[in-house]
Amino acid sequence: MALAGLLAKERTIAGPGFNRWLVPPAALAIHLCIGMAYGFSVFWKPLGNALLGPDGAPLPSCAAGATTFADKLAGTGRALFATDCNWTQFDLGWMYTLFFVVLGCAAAVWGGWLERSGPRKAGLVSAVCWCGGLLISALGIYEHQLWMLWLGSGVIGGIGLGLGYISPVSTLIKWFPDRRGMATGMAIMGFGGGAMIGSPLATLLMSKFATPTDPGVWQTFVALAAIYAVFMFSGAFGYRVPATGWKPAGWEPPPASANAMIATRHVHLRNAHKTPQFWLLWIVLCMNVSAGIGIIGAASPMLQETFGGALVSQSGLGFADLKADKELLAAAVAIGAGFVGLISLFNIGGRVVWASSSDKLGRKQTYVIFFVLGIALYVLASLAADWKSLAIFVACFCVIASMYGGGFATIPAYLADMFGTQFVGAIHGRLLTAWSTAGILGPVVVNYMHDIRLEQNIPFDQIYAPIFYVLAAMLVVGLIANLLVRPVADRWFMSDEELAREKQLAHEKALATANGRGGDGAQGSHPVLATLAWLAVGIPLAYGIWVTLQKSAVLFR
């Protein structure tokens, strides 16, 4: 009962003097942990060679000899329960797919519960699912049971991802009505940056735990679960919600006539998906993500195949020649890794910069820039590949990566502008099914076109040009959808009586009541506390950025 009371939404209502700048680091504490989902590829090679034979060499894979997609699926079916063969990257990659499919589904299903129960309870459930999923996966690795990894990290962890991802959205938008884009950009930056911290940390832990017969992966999962639990529980209990009627000192909402694209009333969750605006924004997010996620996932091989020997000052050599020289190939792989690191930095930086800029530019105008500039950059990247201009090619994808991240960070503020703030977290959760769709669509298009052209014996440096044009066409679709967005019709907004009833159901308290009782946040917040909170998330993030910069430096040598 004591725990139930501590998690009650009423206990999270901030009292007078609470420092709103304590909420973004609480959100970052959760997002930096669940963002490790992007970094799980560091485990593929160690897990793929975990089982050793009597001679000390890795055992064959469960899908040995698989050539077609059907063969690979058959091999994966055997791998789910087999303990006498190693897993392939294809087997393990399904866990990555499950992350983002389940994330979108979980956010859609439990978004309404989150709005009524509050971010603290949702953050706690997210921590239990994400960290608990890691522990189940650790047991699966120890017992060599692939199905436990899919269930633990993929499904249960995916639920944690969904709830953790949307848990701060509504809260931050209500704390920062004057800077909605900046607030959500700061939090969602953490999801993009989580892998920059988690990947080198996981690599370090595996090196510490590894033995001649054990790669140290299950121990690393246990250690990560413990570390992430500390941060995620701290973040969940650090959440506070503003009392109804609260607004920043000296700030007044703009008059309704000042910007017709910013709603002053609220659309109910049950009606949001009935509006054309919801589905237009669904297309906007889906196309923006689809055009970025597939190419970002293939960034390293794309650079190596397109530029070949030019990456290692051997302009006359193609990628096929590089593969025949292990030393040159290793150098090219290092440069490819540097490219991945560089676009990762632009990905997380774009989440803050573009989302903050949208507060001035407007959300619709910001997405117009994303799509128009993105189309131009994909065309320019195709030309740069023909010109063999590495600098232009890299610059194009750095900006594209920034807009990919910026799209994630700007969409919650766009939804708040269109539908109001009362259900924005839940509406955002439902819209994230667009991300789940894009997580399949983008990589499938890129990888399918790549493999088909490879089978047609197209030279490596000419494989990607038509792929870029297809991705540009996706952005054209997104641009059209964005241009069609108009203010939501009056009939979809709740009346004052309906709004008051929903606030009561959501356990929201008026400003006067909160000032009298105050919940956990009744006391004023000392500036030192905010500084310590930002340092707690800022130092790990700075570490991740520094490691990534070191890897990226190889591009400039």
Residue 267 phi, psi dihedral angles, 5° rounding: -100, 135
The confidence score (pLDDT) of residue 260 equals 67
CB neighbours (10 Å) of residue 26?
28
User: Does residue 11 belong to any structural domain of this protein?
Assistant: no
Best CA proximity match to 135, nearest among 229, 71, 199, 68: 229
What's the pTM value of the predicted model, to 2 decimals? 0.88
User: Does residue 296 belong to any structural domain of this protein?
Assistant: yes
The confidence score (pLDDT) of residue 515 equals 45
Mean pLDDT of 215-235: 96
Best CA proximity match to 214, nearest among 52, 62, 80: 52
Question: How confident is the prediction for the chain on average, in pLDDT?
Answer: 88
Which tens digits make up the pLDDT trace of 365-414?
999 999 999 999 999 999 999 998 999 999 999 999 999 999 999 999 99
Best CA proximity match to 292, nearest among 399, 400, 395, 372: 400
| CA 334 to chain centroid | 25
The confidence score (pLDDT) of residue 514 equals 44
User: What's the domain range around 396?
Assistant: 22-53+94-247+258-556
User: Does residue 28 belong to any structural domain of this protein?
Assistant: yes
Top mean pLDDT of 31-40, 135-144, 434-443 is at 135-144
User: Does residue 536 belong to any structural domain of this protein?
Assistant: yes
* In contact, 261 and 417? CB cutoff 8 Å: yes
The confidence score (pLDDT) of residue 393 equals 94
Total domains, the chain? 1
- Beta bridge partners, 267, equal 493
CB neighbours (10 Å) of residue 503?
15
Give the pLDDT band (50/70/90) at residue 522. very low
Place of tokens 């199905």: 147
Q: Which range (80-84, 163-167, 256-260, 496-500) has the least confidence?
A: 256-260
The confidence score (pLDDT) of residue 53 equals 87
CATH number reported for the structural domain that contains residue 511 in this entry: 1.20.1250.20
User: Does residue 59 belong to any structural domain of this protein?
Assistant: no
CA distance 408 to 394: 22
CA distance 538 to 361: 28
User: Does residue 6 belong to any structural domain of this protein?
Assistant: no
Amino acid letter, residue 267: V
The confidence score (pLDDT) of residue 4 equals 63
User: Does residue 64 belong to any structural domain of this protein?
Assistant: no
Mean pLDDT of 502-530: 61
User: Does residue 66 belong to any structural domain of this protein?
Assistant: no
CA distance 427 to 271: 10
CA distance 208 to 206: 5
